[in-house]
A and B are shown apart, each in its own frame.
Chain A
Amino acid sequence: KAGVTQTPRYLIKTRGQQVTLSCSPISGHRSVSWYQQTPGQGLQFLFEYFSETQRNKGNFPGRFSGRQFSNSRSEMNVSTLELGDSALYLCASSSAGAPYNEQFFGPGTRLTVL
Chain B
Amino acid sequence: DQQVKQNSPSLSVQEGRISILNCDYTNSMFDYFLWYKKYPAEGPTFLISISSIKDKNEDGRFTVFLNKSAKHLSLHIVPSQPGDSAVYFCAAFTGGTSYGKLTFGQGTILTVHP
Contact = CB atoms under 8 A, between A and B. Distances in A.
Contact of A43 (B41, B98, B100, B104): B104
Interface residues of B, number: 26
A33 interface: yes
A58 B104 CA distance: 13
A100 B32 contact: yes
Interface residues of A, number: 30
A101 B46 contact: no
B43 interface: yes
A101 B95 CA distance: 8
Interface string A8-52: 000000000000000000000001110100000011110111100
B69 interface: no
B43 A92 contact: yes
Contact of B101 (A4, A42, A58, A108): A58
Contact of A42 (B45, B46, B93, B106): B106
A36 to B, nearest CB: 11
A101 B102 CA distance: 8
Contact of B45 (A43, A105, A108): A105
B43 A48 contact: no
A86 interface: no
Given A105-B43, A105-B45, A107-B43, A56 B32 contact: no
Interface of B: 32, 34, 36, 41-46, 49, 51, 89, 91, 93, 95, 97-107
24 contacts: A4-B43, A31-B99, A31-B100, A33-B100, A35-B102, A43-B89, A43-B102, A43-B104, A44-B104, A48-B101, A50-B99, A55-B99, A56-B97, A56-B99, A90-B43, A92-B43, A96-B99, A100-B34, A101-B93, A102-B34, A103-B46, A105-B36, A107-B41, A107-B43
Across the A-B interface, the 4 shortest Cβ-Cβ residue pairs:
A48-B100, A105-B43, A33-B100, A100-B32
